[in-house]
Amino acid sequence: MNNKSSSRWLRLSAGFGLCLASVALPFLPGVHAAPQQASLSSVTSTAERRDVSPIAASPAFSAQDLSAPPLENWLKVGGSLFNQNWSPLKQIDRENVGKLKAVWQTHLDGSALAMKYSGEAQPVVYQGLLYIVTGADDVFAISVKTGQILWKYQANLDQSISTVCCGWTSRGIALGDGNVYVGQLDGRLVALDQKSGKPVWSIQAEQWQQGYTITAAPLYYDGMVIAAFAGGENGVRGRVKAYDAKDGHLIWTFYTIPGPGEIGHDTWPKDSDAWKYGGATVWQTPAVDPELGLLYFTTGNPGPDFNGRIRPGDNLFANSMVAIEAKTGKYRWHFQQIHHDLWDYDGPNPVMLFDVKVGGRIRKAAAEANKAGWVYILDRTNGKPLVGIDEKPVPQEPRQFTSSTQPIPRGDAFVPQSIDVAPEGFALVNQGRIFTPFWAEGVVAKPSARGGANWPASSYDPDTNDYYVCATDAPNFFKGGEDDQKFPQSGQRYLGSAFGGMPLPANGIFAALDMKTNRLVWQQRWKDSCYSGSVTTEGGLIFVGRNDGRLTALNSSNGQRLWEFQTGAGVNAPASVFEYQGDEYVAVYSGGSLFAGASRGDSVFLFSLKGALTPGTEISSQTPAAPPAEHR
């Protein structure tokens, strides 16, 4: 047993202000405990307590608690129920951010360092404890004061899981009623005791063998744990489920592909089982408006991705923003962003809620940036467009049963939606514009199937009504379509072709849009893809990570880079901002990403104006006074 803290003495060469340097991040072996049988589960997992310091158990948070702007705590992924990723703190501002330094760096025992993993989780913070989950679904509780790991839960995932799309990842945990809730890639939903990391209950929410995984952070709300299920490339029927936070029993299920007799079922072919394999899975943590009692999310593409011939019709509720009753899961409204999608232009970016003045009065808005390159701004009371979205004719391909029109938002796209010069070896059809249809011969077009905006969370400034989106500009070779495609076996890939890249670099686009008009405020191009969520603060800053290992701070008014810090691994997760003992802190997970091609790491960093980590500085956390306890 290795009893040393994972936040050990280390020597760093780090970058501050606009000074770049390299960082050496040695692999540090972790603490390993004997397997434990999880409660209500046949899964082997490990929970290990490393410190006897008191850990405050969270209450059953009220809607008011979870709706309030985050101050001393960062209670959930997205910052609040509105998913704004906004902090009202302003101790760190444009004038002094150049003095920001690291307080500590904590290694997560080498969890999720293999190439298949991605580190995309946003830290959750409550009363001096930070909770983080890795791409291996291992959960850590870390002291904000010392950087010391207080307990660890090890999921011990079955390495033969074969139905994960797009990298083994988890985008966060949920917290409430004394528990930490984590959704796993094996389809399990687990509640951990917040004080020890020991499983309280564990249920098999869905089977990975049938194509389902959980990559989004669960949502704790009103005594429920709400989980969304991924798997849209595996011929599944999408769903969102609510469970009792006390014991994990199922409360309600909402199917994102309506069955016979339900609203929207007529958008699937008659006398066909296509709807049973229709996809429309959910890659994000939903938003909630407690006043309206509604829960909001957007859905993924229909299945199969690139073959519309087997599924004529609009294919609801794929590629849609959906509002359901939070208490019951009952359908209230939907708005489809892409009809009969052929391009994988789905909506993995989290839905955001805010109030904005449009047409001379304050309106309740719900917005989402999707892979097509637009922000869709709706009235969250009824799903009607706020700024305007027009149905416009698009090119047709009869073999794909293409929709005659597509909804086009008024305002500006945040990424290019056509190709000015043909790539070498390819002919341009329709100038490579968005919604160019295809068949087996294929076409080159923009945006690519990766976006546009992908899962990395957007952020918002309620003072300016500016919405900040991280996106990628890249062409894609779209090819697909089969006359006689068969329905898949359980858990089998169901694409109708294959994802087609191009031998050209992808550039990141980071943009600000005014939500009163949906017009660009500013926009910048990066040399690499943008694949990290952002957080905005009252101090006039945007914190956003880069694939090359930097965490950066931008001026929110114009995008100017004011500060950066080299972490040594891809920063592909959103940061969290909170106050502790009178000081403002920024915490971020530096884990890298498969999709972004970023270097892997296993570190959490904490920053403040009182940090001491400068080039050549040695820092550490205290070693536990006693060996960590093992729970078996």
**pLDDT of 52:** 56
Q: Strands 86-87, 534-537: parallel, antiparallel or unpaired by DSSP? A: parallel
For residues 146-169, give the mean pLDDT: 96
Residue 451 above 60 pLDDT? yes
Q: Which of 31-35, 39-43, 131-135, 299-303 has the lowest mean pLDDT?
A: 31-35
With a CB cutoff of 8 Å and minimum separation 6, the contacts of 396 are 402, 404, 437
For residues 89-114, give the mean pLDDT: 98
**pLDDT of 458:** 98
Strand partners, 227: 241
Report how far residue 343's alpha carbon sits from residue 564's, in angstroms, rounded to the nearest whole number: 36
595 within 8 A of 91, measured Cβ to Cβ: no
Q: Strands 239-244, 250-255: parallel, antiparallel or unpaired by DSSP? A: antiparallel
Report how far residue 441's alpha carbon sits from residue 538's, in angstroms, rounded to the nearest whole number: 51
Q: What is the DSSP letter of 622?
A: P
Three-state secondary structure string covering 324-345: EECCCCCEEEEEECCCCCCCCC
pLDDT band at 45 (very low <50, low <70, confident <90, very high): confident
Q: Catalytic residue at 344?
A: yes
**pLDDT of 42:** 39
Q: Strands 129-133, 139-143: parallel, antiparallel or unpaired by DSSP? A: antiparallel
Residue 408 above 60 pLDDT? yes
Strand partners, 279: 237, 302
Q: Whose CA is closest to 465, among 358, 321, 371?
A: 358
**pLDDT of 500:** 83
Residue 19 above 60 pLDDT? no
Percent of the chain at pLDDT above 90?
Answer: 85
Report how far residue 53's alpha carbon sits from residue 253's, in angstroms, rounded to the nearest whole number: 39
DSSP string, 274-316: GGGG-B----SPPEEETTTTEEEEE---BSSTT-GGGS-S--T
User: Edge-to-edge, what's the strand order for the sheet holding 287-289?
Assistant: 287-289, 294-298, 320-325, 331-336
Strand partners, 510: 470, 524
**pLDDT of 29:** 28
Residue 21 above 80 pLDDT? no
- 407 preceded by a cis bond (ω within 30 of 0): no
Over the stretch 222-259, which tens digit does the pLDDT of each residue have?
999 999 999 999 999 999 999 999 999 999 999 999 99
**pLDDT of 585:** 98
The mean of the pLDDT values for the chain is 90
Residue 28 above 60 pLDDT? no
Residue 43 above 50 pLDDT? no
Percent of the chain at pLDDT above 70?
Answer: 90
What Å distances lie between residue 373 and 69, 408, 437, 600, CA to CA?
28, 10, 17, 28
**pLDDT of 206:** 98
Report how far residue 353's alpha carbon sits from residue 366's, in angstroms, rounded to the nearest whole number: 5
Tokens of 167: 């990298």
Task: Supply φ then ψ for residue 267, to 5 degrees.
Answer: -90, 5
**pLDDT of 54:** 78
pTM of the predicted protein model:
0.91
CA dihedral 216, 221, 225, 230 (to 10 degrees): -30
For residues 279-286, give the mean pLDDT: 98
Over the stretch 528-551, which tens digit does the pLDDT of each residue have?
999 999 999 999 999 999 999 999
Report how far residue 456's alpha carbon sits from residue 477's, in angstroms, rounded to the nearest whole number: 23
Domains plus CATH for the chain? 10-631 (2.140.10.10)
Over the stretch 327-348, which tens digit does the pLDDT of each residue have?
999 999 999 999 999 999 999 9
Task: Supply φ then ψ for residue 131, to 5 degrees.
Answer: -115, 130
Residue 12 above 80 pLDDT? no
Q: Look at 20 and 442; give whichever has higher pLDDT.
A: 442
C-beta neighbour count of 56 within 10 angstroms: 12
Task: Supply φ then ψ for residue 310, to 5 degrees.
Answer: -85, -5
- The one-letter amino acid code at 337 reads Q
**pLDDT of 534:** 98
For residues 122-128, give the mean pLDDT: 98
Q: Whose CA is closest to 108, among 157, 74, 65, 151?
A: 151
For residues 511-521, give the mean pLDDT: 98
Q: Look at 23 and 604; give whichever has higher pLDDT.
A: 604
Over the stretch 351-376, which tens digit does the pLDDT of each residue have?
999 999 999 999 999 999 999 999 99
For residues 124-153, give the mean pLDDT: 98
425 within 8 A of 50, measured Cβ to Cβ: no
Residue 418 above 80 pLDDT? yes
Catalytically annotated residue among 222, 289, 341, 344: 344
SS3 190: strand
Residue 137 above 90 pLDDT? yes
